[in-house]
């Protein structure tokens, strides 16, 4: 694709493939498909440090072009698909993969077909896939059914699979670990991350491992992954037939990268835990109200996981902790409005009257 002169781009982040070309399977001839993904903020979270006694940082992946970390993998997957001559990519999705695949396919001028579980994906994600001209089909089954069919189609028809079972996705996603090591000068002691298919858990472990091999990092973080209690196959040690959770992005009963995730856990002295939906929503609220970062429910499980492990006494004082928060809160905004009794917050209505508004705001003494 067209690239402006190096001078013109010297202050602009160029997307993960160009930024990390020497650490990915690309050449000068690779037709890079990028929307400028990666280079996301790594922010201190003083409110969480105070609550836990640890030194807590948040990797804000909602700041990617389509609002989730999926873009890091999708730039690689669509680039490699185009390099191999693909005209159509296909994926199964709980929402964010479909939004990302449709956007990158649109940018590349190819077609994206996406299979999503009927009625189970957030409105923001559905509208993204449609907006980017994805061919979106709602399958009358769950995510795991969608992935089975997507794999079937890729094996038997001229379509290219861009789910995280595609190694190009994992390769692109490992760059988030590179960015963390670059920002801090080393890997953290603990890394907390949501787990659905466990592709991202696998990708970070690979990124850190490569940084250690390259001499950029001196240690492997303990990788702590979290699933929703109603959808926790890895924690329970068996597939969940009918996974249920409000965290729709991780509503997966039979993770594609299950085996890889178990070996990554063993390699990193890691951990998999399960968190109830009410704790996920509580953590989402803490992150938005006390840190200023709005994430979708699945992402908040990193925060809930930290609070749970900290209460369990597992996180030493002063430990460097990084939480990956995977997707933007605007993807699935309804949960932020929900009150404890299940009704929605109703913003106060006031007349056009300064004195009365001052009184309502508690400004008048
Ligand atoms: C895809 C996704 C996940 C789960 O990632 P896996 O690689 O499938 O484990 C978590 N959170 C969000 C917001 C996602 O879109």
Residues 6+ apart with CB under 8 A from 59: 40, 41, 42, 176, 179, 180, 322, 323, 324, 325
Q: The domain that contains 84 carries what CATH number?
A: 3.40.50.1100
The residue assigned the tokens 């700041």 is 63
Structure confidence at residue 284 as a pLDDT band (50, 70, 90): very high
User: CB count, 10 Å around CB of 148?
Assistant: 15
Domain end among 161, 184, 217: 161
Specify if 129 maps to a domain: yes
Specify if 310 maps to a domain: yes
How many domains is the chain partitioned into structurally?
2
Q: Which of 39-53, 222-236, 281-295, 333-347 has the lowest mean pLDDT?
A: 333-347
Q: Do 209 and 278 share a structural domain?
A: yes
pLDDT in tens, 303-322: 999 999 999 999 999 999 99
Specify if 321 maps to a domain: yes
Q: Do 333 and 252 share a structural domain?
A: yes
Specify if 78 maps to a domain: yes
* pTM for the structure as a whole: 0.95
Pocket test for ligand 1, best of 172, 197, 224, 301 (most atoms within 8 A of CB): 197
User: CB count, 10 Å around CB of 338?
Assistant: 14
pLDDT in tens, 54-70: 999 999 999 999 999 99
What's the CA-to-centroid distance between 7 and ligand 1, angstroms? 36
pLDDT at position 31 over 90: yes
Question: 3-state class of 90 per DSSP?
Answer: strand
Per-chain mean pLDDT for the chain: 95
Determine the atom of ligand 1 nearest the C-alpha atom of 331: 13
Residues 6+ apart with CB under 8 A from 329: 62, 284, 288, 294, 295, 296, 336
Specify if 9 maps to a domain: no
- What is the model's pLDDT at position 364? 82
- State mean pLDDT over 135-147: 95
Domain end among 161, 181, 207: 161
Q: Do 289 and 225 share a structural domain?
A: yes
Q: Do 196 and 183 share a structural domain?
A: yes
- What is the model's pLDDT at position 6? 54
224 is in which domain, residue-wise? 16-67+167-337
What's the CA-to-centroid distance between 32 and ligand 1, angstroms? 24
CA distance 352 to 349: 10
- State mean pLDDT over 215-227: 98
Determine the atom of ligand 1 nearest the C-alpha atom of 173: 7
Q: Do 191 and 281 share a structural domain?
A: yes
What's the CA-to-centroid distance between 183 and ligand 1, angstroms? 23
């Amino acid at each position: 694709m067209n690239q402006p002169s190096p001078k013109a781009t010297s202050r602009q982040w160029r997307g993960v493939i160009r930024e990390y070309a020497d650490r990915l399977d690309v050449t000068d001839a690779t037709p890079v498909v990028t929307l400028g993904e990666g280079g996301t903020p790594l922010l201190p979270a003083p409110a969480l440090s105070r609550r836990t006694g640890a030194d807590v940082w948040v990797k804000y992946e909602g700041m990617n072009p389509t609002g989730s970390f999926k873009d890091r993998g999708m730039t690689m997957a669509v680039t490699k698909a185009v390099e191999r001559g693909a005209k159509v990519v296909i994926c199964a999705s709980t929402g964010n993969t479909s939004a990302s695949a449709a956007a990158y396919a649109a940018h590349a001028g190819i077609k994206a077909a996406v299979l999503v579980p009927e009625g189970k994906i957030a409105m923001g994600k559905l509208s993204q896939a449609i907006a980017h001209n994805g061919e979106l089909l709602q399958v009358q089954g769950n995510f795991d059914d969608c992935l089975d069919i997507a794999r079937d189609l890729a094996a038997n028809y001229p379509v290219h699979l861009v789910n995280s079972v595609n190694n190009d996705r994992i390769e692109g996603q490992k760059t988030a670990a590179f960015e963390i090591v670059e920002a801090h000068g080393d890997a953290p002691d603990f890394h907390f991350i949501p787990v659905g298919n466990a592709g991202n858990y696998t990708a970070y472990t690979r990124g850190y491992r490569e940084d250690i091999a390259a001499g950029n990092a001196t240690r492997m973080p303990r990788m702590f992954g979290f699933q929703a209690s109603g959808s926790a196959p890895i924690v329970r040690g068996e597939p969940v037939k009918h996974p249920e959770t409000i965290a729709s992005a991780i509503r997966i009963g039979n993770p594609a990268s299950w085996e890889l995730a178990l070996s990554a856990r063993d390699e990193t002295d890691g951990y998999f835990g399960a968190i109830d939906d009410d704790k996920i929503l509580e953590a989402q609220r803490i992150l938005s109200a006390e840190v200023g970062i709005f994430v979708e429910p699945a992402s908040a499980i990193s925060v809930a996981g930290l609070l749970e492990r900290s209460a369990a006494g597992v996180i030493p004082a002063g430990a460097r902790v990084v939480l990956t928060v995977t997707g933007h809160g605007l993807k699935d905004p309804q949960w932020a409005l929900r009150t404890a009794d299940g009704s929605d917050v109703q913003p106060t209505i006031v007349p056009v009257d300064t004195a009365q508004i001052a009184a309502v705001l508690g400004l008048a003494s």
